[in-house]
Amino acid sequence: MKAIISHDIDHITVWEHLFRDTIIPKYLARMHIELFSNKISLREYTLRWSDFFKNKWQNIDELITFNNICGIHSSFFIAVNKGVGLNYSNTSALLWIEQMQRRNCEIGIHGIEYENAEELRKEFDLFCKLSKIKDPGIRMHYVRNTEKTYQLLAQTGYKYDSTEHAFKNPYKIGEMWEFPFQIMDGWIIENYKSWQSINLDKAKEATIRLIDKADKGNLKYLGIDFHDRYFSHAFKTWLDWYMWLVDYLKTNKIAVVNFNEAIKEMEGG
Ligand SMILES: [Zn+2]
């Protein structure tokens, strides 16, 4: 089994949310619940205020640097449309697309539209224009989908999608590769709540159970989704969990590839 690690970019700044959605009050409520339930330290709490006033809610550069040191090819999904608490501008997205391209990252779309073929096409065309990538991949924001979504993505021309959460091997829908994924940071650490509800040890145990399940199911690729936002000392459990996971994969000889590398392997190229 190999692993594919990818990162969804949900936020870039704090200000992008001002008067547009409920992310800021939710952030403030969450850090207080986590502090008073002893899930985060006073240091983390202080650092969250510091990120807030620095207007910095992404850790893309830091994450690429860490991945590079560990020999992991970074793969990101970035949005060119707004919705469900994702509110950064295309100008901000373009700056990061250029920065990620300079650092040789694989980049796909973090999709907002998941039902309407015309709107899906608009996101696809805009992303291709901004990134100059002709055959991008996609993961839906909040993994939103209906029974029609995957077919629509394939028809739009996506090379790969990684929205489905399932213990299944990659498979083809038309010309598109679907890469089901198995591990999402939030599902582990929040454990069905809207805030951190378990500690690092419990998160590690839950993760090992999922890796073992993937291994027993003979999966060729273990899909892992980690948000760059949490690669920060302000989210110490998340940061420690990701660094532990990368080390765990290495110790267990699970090599990490990106989507395009996996496609090449599967197509025998
Ligand atoms: Zn998202």
Q: Does 79 map to a domain?
A: yes
DSSP assignment of 39-54:
SS-HHHHHHHHHHHHH
The residue-averaged pLDDT of 117-121 equals 97
CA 49 to ligand 1 center in whole angstroms = 22
Domain-embedded: residue 124: no
Q: How far, in Å, from the CA of 109 to the mean position of ligand 1?
A: 10
Look at residue 261 and tell me if it is in a domain: yes
This model's pTM is above 0.95: yes
Within a domain: 126 = no
Q: Would you say residue 216 lies in a domain?
A: yes
Helix 90-102 crosses helix 60-69 at what angle (to 10 degrees)? 20
Other CB atoms within 10 A of residue 232 CB:
20
Which domain, by its residues, includes 190? 2-107+182-266
Ligand 1 centre to CA of 116 (Å) is 19
* Interval 40-92: pLDDT, tens: 999 999 999 999 999 999 999 999 999 999 999 999 999 999 999 999 999 99
Neighbours of 119 (CB within 10 A): 15
Q: What mean pLDDT, rounded, does the chain reach? A: 97
In a domain, 67, yes or no: yes
Q: Output the CA 77–ligand 1 centroid distance in Å.
A: 8
Compute the distance between CA of residue 119 and CA of residue 113 in angstroms, rounded to an integer: 6
| Distance (Å) from CA 141 to ligand 1 centroid | 4
Kindly state the average pLDDT of the residues 237-242.
98
Report the separation in Å between the CA atom of 247 and the middle of ligand 1, taken as the mean of its atom positions. 25
In a domain, 23, yes or no: yes
Total domain count for the chain?
1
Rounded to the nearest angstrom, the distance between the alpha carbon of 101 and the centre of ligand 1 is 20
Query: How far, in Å, from the CA of 47 to the mean position of ligand 1?
Result: 23
pLDDT digits (tens, 9 = 90+) for 148-197: 999 999 999 999 999 999 999 999 999 999 999 999 999 999 988 889 98
Is residue 64 assigned to a domain? yes
